[in-house]
Amino acid sequence: MTDHQFVADEGPDAASPPPGAAQEVKQAVSQFVQHFKGFQDDVARKLKQTEERMTMLDRKTQTAARPHLAAAEAEGAPHQKAMQAYLRIGNEDGFRGLELEGKALSSAVNSDGGFLVDPQTADVVKSVLQSTASIRAVASVVNVEATSFDVLIDHTDVGAGWATETGSVTETASPVIDRIVIPLHELSALPKASQRLLDDSAFDIEGWLAGRIADKFARAEAQSFISGDGVDKPTGILHHTAVDNDSWTWGALGYVATGTDGDIGSADAIINLVYALDARYRAGASFVMNSKTAGLIRKLKDADGRFLWSDGLAAGEPARLMGYPVLVAEDMPDVASDSFSMAFGDFGAGYTIAERPDLRILRDPFSAKPHVLFYATKRVGGDVSDFAAIKLMKFGVS
């Protein structure tokens, strides 16, 4: 057999596959593709489940780590929406069923003078009032739910003494209690806006309203805490009787005269005013005067030629006079003949401001058409609570 014959005989057997082999290959490839596609779908499904679990875990972590302010804002969102609807279009339905700090907010509140303002707006008003240059910045401020606040003063020290085991002990004196009643008065503001402005969704109605209310409240309070007569307003420090500090008695404020009519005279007057105040009050004491008086006082020098006045070294730090902070309150009177243009004392002990935390808004679209009035009210009172803690400077001879 030749080589040619050998190739010719085996060639056809080698080129022809076994019967059904091609079909088996096709089925195997098809099954592989199906299995691979199922594997891909399974991987994709598991990845999606993992991503969902990670997202849920991340949300839980963010919720747990969320600061209190953000949580409070989320909780107050329903009331904010209700307040927005009320301020813009007068819709009161959103308040029904809501509660704010334990207080039910319903249409019945309207008859009491308006709806409670949401905490965010109320905090803006409070922060502006606190930062405004008035007695509030140094006085004692208390929140009350009643219509007045009582301050109890014990004028008599309880008796004390040294005793021995066998010696007799004398009976101590009974304390004498004096009660100072600080009534709360209604403070109101009446900002006005056009309906066209309220219809503008980009207009921050609550921010605008908070700014207007805070400005009007701050100016009214600052004036009353200085010179208010106590009739439907707080009683100011200058409304009380002022007597020479040498003859001071409880119920009046003691003063020290400069010795010069309508002028400060010399630095000795400041020194006399500081030491007219008892040592127990001087540690927390501060000066109160307006800008014109401050301009006069800051020129004073001691016997060695050094200024008594020193400006604050850091931003926001008050100026100091003889080492004591100075509050510049523009409602203090200008220097004039026999004027009480400067006060010195521990106002945290000497003057108490009592207020309710509620701030209410009543919308009035009728009284000033086409404008809308917003009647904002709060209740606040103030009065001298310790007459020994505050001294006045009289710009006069005696």
Domain boundaries, the chain: 76-157+174-231+356-384, 237-353+387-395
Bigger pLDDT: 55 vs 143: 143
Q: pTM here?
A: 0.68
Bigger pLDDT: 222 vs 133: 222
Bigger pLDDT: 260 vs 152: 260
Return the minimum-mean-pLDDT range out of 148-152, 215-219, 357-361, 389-393: 357-361
Q: What is the mean pLDDT of residues 161-173?
A: 64
Tell me the pLDDT band of 2, cut-offs 50, 70 and 90: very low
Q: Say how far apart CA 320 and CA 322 lie, in whole Å.
A: 6
Bridge partners of 176, per DSSP, are: none
Bigger pLDDT: 395 vs 164: 395
The length of the chain is 398
Q: What is the pLDDT of residue 27?
A: 75
By DSSP bridging, strand 360-364 and strand 115-116 are: antiparallel
Q: Say how far apart CA 272 and CA 263 lie, in whole Å.
A: 15
Summarised one tens digit per residue, pLDDT across range 11-67 is: 445 455 565 667 776 777 677 667 667 767 776 777 777 767 665 655 555 544 444
Range of 78-92, 294-308, 354-368 with top mean pLDDT = 294-308
Q: Say how far apart CA 123 and CA 266 lie, in whole Å.
A: 44
Tell me the pLDDT band of 216, cut-offs 50, 70 and 90: confident
Summarised one tens digit per residue, pLDDT across range 338-397 is: 999 999 999 999 999 999 877 888 888 888 888 888 888 889 999 999 999 999 999 999
Task: Indicate if 237-353+387-395 has the same CATH topology as 76-157+174-231+356-384.
Answer: no
Bridge partners of 181, per DSSP, are: 150
Tell me the pLDDT band of 6, cut-offs 50, 70 and 90: very low
Q: What is the pLDDT of residue 283?
A: 92
Mean per-residue pLDDT of the chain: 78
Q: What is the pLDDT of residue 102?
A: 40
Q: What is the pLDDT of residue 121?
A: 62
| CA neighbor of 381 nearest in space, from 138, 142, 185 | 185
Q: Say how far apart CA 59 and CA 285 lie, in whole Å.
A: 51
| Structural contact between residues 181 and 146, judged by C-beta atoms closer than 8 angstroms | no
CATH fit for domain 237-353+387-395, picks 3.30.2320, 3.30.390, 1.10.3470, 3.40.50? 3.30.2320
Q: Say how far apart CA 135 and CA 288 lie, in whole Å.
A: 8
| Structural contact between residues 359 and 378, judged by C-beta atoms closer than 8 angstroms | yes
Q: Say how far apart CA 231 and CA 222 lie, in whole Å.
A: 16
Element (H, E) at 362: strand 360-364
DSSP sequence for 59-101:
HHHHHHH--HHHHHHHHTHHHHHHHHHHHHH---GGGTTEEET
Q: Does residue 233 surpass a pLDDT of 70?
A: yes
Share of the chain above pLDDT 90, in %: 36
Alpha helices, DSSP H, located in 265-370: 268-276, 279-282, 291-297, 347-350
- Look-up of token digits 């969902």: 52
Tell me the pLDDT band of 255, cut-offs 50, 70 and 90: very high
Element (H, E) at 188: strand 185-189
Tell me the pLDDT band of 304, cut-offs 50, 70 and 90: confident
Q: What is the pLDDT of residue 317?
A: 81
| Structural contact between residues 342 and 393, judged by C-beta atoms closer than 8 angstroms | yes
- Report the top-level CATH class of 76-157+174-231+356-384: alpha beta
Q: Does residue 269 surpass a pLDDT of 80?
A: yes
Q: What is the pLDDT of residue 154?
A: 75
Q: Say how far apart CA 210 and CA 213 lie, in whole Å.
A: 5
